[in-house]
Amino acid sequence: MRLLVLLVLSGFGLAHAQQSGLAGPDGWIVSRPGGEGMDAEVLSGAVSFIEQDAHDDFRSLVVARNGRLVAEHYFNGHGPDALQDMRSAGKSVTSALVGIAIAEGVVAGLDAPVVPLFPSYAPVAHDGPSKQAVTIRHLLTMTSGLDADADDPSSAGYEDRMWESDDWVRLVIDLPMVNAPGSEWTYSSASAFLAGAAVEEAAGQSLAAFAEKWLFGPLGIEHYRWAATPTGRTVGQGNLSMRARDMAKLGQLYLDGGRWRGQQIIPDAWVRSSVEALYEVPWENYDGYGYSWYTHTISVEGRAFRYFFASGNGGNKIYVFPDEQMVVITQSAAYNTNYGQRRSLDVLRRVLAAVVD
């Protein structure tokens, strides 16, 4: 396995950055692991673990602690400017944009009914009181009650059917109801997509354009790629390709209550509500679900670490640890494998073992 390690700053330059608060690459402050309460030797063991992996599809490991970049490693020809499709971790970005849209008065609120937000699609199929009761909150928490189970190929709203459709909004908004809104958690890419489309309808622009103004721009994220539907809708349920450093910015943004370098980008109240475990998730290594963010507590060497995270197919993760003031990013192209997610968690355990305070 070929490894590229990016040495952000070294020697006098690094010391000067630590002492003066000088910004490093892409707006990050840089530091050494030891300076932020991490064992550099143990942390290097996580890198060695990746290097020794039999597969060649792990891409990046980035660790930030106390708001400073302490480790940045790239593998298998990947580099700091390479974009990686983080798949469903993009749902958490869409959630952030919904929060901004509500704060800016673009969307009325979490309890705004969804169907009336799409007047050009009236009348909708399978209409009735239950469908009219579906709100933005239900979409973000994956409790819409729509027949849109992303884990069930027989579901009418299975994600592959969206990719085969010419009009994704029409397909999703016309889905039948299988549960009362808010009654049951079901993993649903269709719900996340519709939440993003609702922002587009209200803002009168694509979700990607909205993100550039309100989220990516303030974070200094200039390089990204976000897939679109045949009608030009942003694929809000995923397929957002970003650099590892920029994924870390998103994690740091949520760790710091919606602030980045002194600027409030997302309301603190939205961040806190988003990462609460509102619904139980029936998967191993996942505990709860909020507004498109998962929660979990993991035990490493007898220590319990609680965290929230954005999760994408293949092991693409934004892990955020409030108690440790730490963000960990893993990028991987192990899509649709039985090892991608497990490997990222194994890497995470090795990073957590390096926390010494």
Task: Of 139, 221, 192, give the one whose Cα is nearest residue 312.
Answer: 192
pLDDT at 76: 96
pLDDT at 23: 60
In whole angstroms, what is the distance from residue 103 CA to residue 98 CA? 9
Provide CATH 1.20.58.710 ranges for the chain: 89-203
pLDDT at 61: 98
pLDDT at 20: 36
Three-class SS string for the chain?
Answer: CCEEECCCCCHHHHHHHHHHCCECHHHCEECCHHHHCECHHHHHHHHHHHHCCCCCCEEEEEEEECCEEEEEEEECCCCCCCCEECHHHHHHHHHHHHHHHHHCCCCCCCCCECHHHCHHHCCCCCCCHHHHCCEHHHHHCCCCCECCCCCCCCCCCCHHHHHCCCCHHHHHHCCCECCCCCCCCCCCHHHHHHHHHHHHHHHCCCHHHHHHHHHHHHHCCCCEEECECCCCCECCCCCEEECHHHHHHHHHHHHCCCEECCEECCCHHHHHHHCCCCEECCCCCCCEECCCCEEEEEEECCEEEEEEEEEECCCEEEEEECCCCEEEEEEECCCCCCCHHHHHHHHHHHHHCCECC
pLDDT of the chain, 357 residues: tens digit per residue: 444 444 443 332 333 333 334 567 889 999 999 999 999 999 999 999 999 999 999 999 999 999 999 999 999 999 999 999 999 999 999 999 999 999 999 999 999 999 999 999 999 999 999 999 999 999 999 999 999 999 999 999 999 999 999 999 999 999 999 999 999 999 999 999 999 999 999 999 999 999 999 999 999 999 999 999 999 999 999 999 999 999 999 999 999 999 999 999 999 999 999 999 999 999 999 999 999 999 999 999 999 999 999 999 999 999 999 999 999 999 999 999 999 999 999 999 999 999 997
pLDDT at 117: 97
Domain 89-203, CATH: 1.20.58.710
pLDDT at 1: 45
Lookup: tokens for 133 = 């009761």
Residue 55 burial (CB count, 10 A)? 15
